[in-house]
Amino acid sequence: MSKKCKENGNSNSILTKYARLNYWSQVDTRPVPAWLNKYEVGSGSFFYNGERISYSIISKDFEPRLPGFVGFPEGHLFISEEVPKDYWKSMLIHEWLEFTQFAGQKGRCVKALKRELDFAPKGDGRMAYLKYRELFFEGLIEFYRDSNEVSDEFKSEIQGSYELLRKLIAQLEIENLPAECLGGHSLAEFDNLDVFERRKIILREK
């Protein structure tokens, strides 16, 4: 194998309680509720389409079993302190849009994810971002797998985003690969394969 190929190639948790709450389609201007306020370690704001959007920075102790959490319950937008700062705006935009512009729509989570990625890191930082979000959605799916605290519709929404992230990661892994990494397939044949089948070939070739 060429060197070039190798180189390219708990139901009582606070988060569960927050997930039971109805999401509002407008920002709540009331003070941050006590159940959330006690975990607040800071605050900030950003501009989106000319609108200033405020958010709270929440201690990771809020829900240590779900690293990188972000949420928008009762119109109170927040993000975990442990999320890399370069990721804050894009992730917060996702939450904001999912429960305002896309509220009530089928596929709202995927729609918000696609918009989120317009603001996510590009270039060398793209893969790390996609994997960070993939890990979050994978954890979120597992967190609620056997839970009755959220609807099946909610579970379907987050599953959709997880699957899209997996596909985007696989596509990024196979971009610009040299011919010797295609497992004996012509480029045309390779392009006609499902993205995950292409990924299997690449991993086998490595």
pLDDT digits (tens, 9 = 90+) for 66-78: 999 999 988 899 9
Mean pLDDT of all residues in 2-30 = 45
pLDDT at 176: 58
Distance CA(57)–CA(72), nearest Å, equals: 12
pLDDT at 180: 60
pLDDT band at 24 (very low <50, low <70, confident <90, very high): very low
pLDDT at 7 over 60: no
Mean pLDDT of all residues in 127-153 = 94
pLDDT band at 44 (very low <50, low <70, confident <90, very high): very high
pLDDT at 9: 44
Distance CA(106)–CA(86), nearest Å, equals: 29
More confident residue, 178 or 166: 166
Mean pLDDT of all residues in 187-198 = 67
pLDDT at 2: 44
List Cβ neighbours of 152 (8 Å cut-off, separation of 6 or more): none
More confident residue, 35 or 179: 35
Flag the least confident range among 81-90, 104-113, 165-174: 165-174
Flag the least confident range among 5-14, 40-49, 94-103, 190-199: 5-14
pLDDT at 170: 84
Alpha helices in the chain (DSSP H): 3-7, 14-20, 34-37, 85-98, 108-116, 126-144, 152-174, 187-192, 195-205
The separation between the first and the last C-alpha atoms of the chain, rounded to the nearest angstrom, is 7
